[in-house]
Amino acid sequence: MRTPNFIHAKKFRYGSVSVALTIVVVAAVILFNAIFTALARKNLWYIDMTPEPRFTLSDEAKTYLGTMDQTKEVVVQFCDSKEVWESNTTQREVLKSVEDMAKAYSNIRIEYVDIYANPRAVEGYSERTGKAINTQSVVIKSGTELRVHALKEFFTFDSTQQTITGYNGEQILVSAVLAVTQAESPLLCVTTGHGEEDMFNTDNAVLLLMEQIGFKIQFVDLAHENIPDDCRLLLIYGPTVDFLERSASSDISEIDKLEAYLARGRSMMVFFNDHTPKLPNLEQFLGEWGIAIARKSDEIYQVQDTDNSLTTDGRTNVATYSVGGTGADITAQLRASKDPKTVVFPNTTALKFADLYTVEYVQYDDAYNFARYNSGAVDRLCYKVFESSTSATARAGGLVVNKEDDERYNYMLLACQTVNDFENNRTRRSFILASASTAFAGAGAVDSRYGNRTVLAYACNTMGSLSVPVSLDCKYYASTDIVNMTVKAARQYTIVLALLPALTALTVGVVVMVRRKYA
């Protein structure tokens, strides 16, 4: 009897074929995965399954980018290697946005610079922008124009400033690209020397916001300097010391400089709060534009609205949109949305129409009142932008201010001057936007879940200070677990995800083998 040859046995042959087929399939899967991964990286193939969606360039961002001058090359420099930016979760999110932009627009190009090996690549950037350059910096440049942003600027944080709550990269990147490709980036001048709130802090929220929406920033001390001719917007933020007026002891008049600046058809923003001291010169100047700070016996109003506040003390007040006049033009797009964003005025005082002005009433479907002053060829109007609810109350010097039941306090006013130059057949318009709250533009309030940042962006547009105001929503994380995942947790997930398919295949194989054996 012939001894069976194990190698030629049917089971061995079938088993060998099965093993070989398995090896071929596994090798093919690995090869396919490697090829597909390479192509996906090169061509940006992905499916964004986040509910926001967070990793996809939004249609709104594309609309803004479509307005840029695409004949100008834009270079986005990442100040470290590509591998580093790809390996870090937060850095990769910024990189992904820029890759989407570069794929959609041929004039946008990406560069990676090792700033330790090649420091000359970013030489002078810090001096020109006032920002520190490190390996987590992103530089956006076109020609001689550039913007520098730190990694943390692309994200929003909770109150502890430790936990990331959202991604604000689209706002930062789109604003920077539009700013560097404009023929002339508009200049924002910020007054100093009047006790203004912390204006030299690089993390100052209002200055970061103004830079994000497209301005170049320059400080100006009006006691010693003139306002530059190319200044498009002047910012007075939380003054506690009065502006100088010409007197017997001094020929310097900062008020004259403000008047001359606005006479050129320029714009100004001024922010107060419920602790602003009496500023006679500045307040008289603003009164001539129809804007007055609400005071009683020189004591400033402190407005509280417990029924319409985000905090239990009634001091983070939710504003009511005004619906008529030029002031309402600022908020028209916000109000047109299906669910208009909440606009907040924390620690607010109140503004009112100046006594010099005549209050007029407009009766349309959306009735409103405004204030007017006319003198020859000069016509000045003052409009409401935001008001309190009727439930708001005010105190002055600790005493309750009496008011009518349906009375509202003004949180923001817009003054507009129209000068008709009949000789040259020209009309010049100037604007002053006044806010009763400095915190309206503070770190918490300009969080894009509120409407405050959009209001400021579109106010710049209404006043003609900025040709392309950018206001893109932050993409908030439903959960920050992945963003803040530790290395240990990542390793555990990797092990589980690697073993799960293998264990599943092994279990299925054992079940099939047992069933065949006993079939």
Q: Examine the pLDDT at 444 and tell me if it is beyond 80.
A: yes
Could you read off the pLDDT of 54-104 as tens digits, one per residue?
567 888 889 889 888 899 999 999 999 999 999 888 899 999 999 999 999
Phi-psi region of 354 (alpha: psi -120 to 50; beta: other; left: phi over 0): beta
For residues 357 and 392, state if they share a domain. Answer: yes
In a domain, 133, yes or no: no
The reported pTM is 0.65
Q: Which of 362, 276, 358, 356 is nearest to 327 (CA)?
A: 362
In a domain, 286, yes or no: yes
- Taking only Cα atoms into account, the Rg of the chain, rounded to an integer number of angstroms, comes to 31
Q: Examine the pLDDT at 42 and tell me if it is beyond 50.
A: yes
Strands (E), 48-171: 74-78, 108-112, 137-142, 145-150, 155-157, 164-167
Indicate the pairing of strand 368-375 with strand 358-362. Answer: antiparallel
Distance CA 455, CA 60 (A): 17
For residues 502 and 422, state if they share a domain. Answer: no
In a domain, 478, yes or no: no
Q: Examine the pLDDT at 486 and tell me if it is beyond 50.
A: no
For residues 205 and 307, state if they share a domain. Answer: yes
Distance CA 154, CA 239 (A): 30
110 in Cβ contact with 73 (< 8 Å): no
- Count: domains in the chain: 3
For residues 497 and 456, state if they share a domain. Answer: no
74-78, 206-210, 328-332, 496-500 — most confident range: 74-78
What does the pLDDT average to over 401-415?
Answer: 93
CATH number at residue 299: 3.40.50.880
What does the pLDDT average to over 136-159?
Answer: 84
For residues 263 and 409, state if they share a domain. Answer: yes
Q: Examine the pLDDT at 435 and tell me if it is beyond 70.
A: yes
For residues 265 and 384, state if they share a domain. Answer: yes
For residues 504 and 377, state if they share a domain. Answer: no
Q: Examine the pLDDT at 36 and tell me if it is beyond 90.
A: no
Bridge partner list, 237: 271
What domain range includes position 504? 491-519
The reported pLDDT for the residue numbered 49 is 47
Q: Is residue 133 helix, strand or coil?
A: coil
Sign of CA dihedral 212, 213, 216, 222: negative
What lies within 8 Å, CB to CB, of 383 at 6+ separation is 322, 324, 325, 326, 327, 328, 368, 370, 413, 414, 415, 416
495 CA to centre of own chain: 39
Q: Which of 272, 205, 283 is nearest to 448 (CA)?
A: 205
DSSP code string of 319-347: PEEP-SHHHHHTTHHHHHSSSPPP-EEET
Q: Examine the pLDDT at 52 and tell me if it is beyond 60.
A: no
For residues 412 and 452, state if they share a domain. Answer: yes
What are residue 415's phi and psi, to 5 degrees?
A: -100, 140
In a domain, 301, yes or no: yes
Instruction: Kindly compute the dihedral angle of the four CA atoms of residues 444, 448, 453, 457, in this order, to the nearest 10 degrees.
Output: 160
For residues 289 and 427, state if they share a domain. Answer: yes
In a domain, 110, yes or no: no
The reported pLDDT for the residue numbered 351 is 97
Using 50, 70 and 90 to split pLDDT, how confident is the model at 484?
A: very low
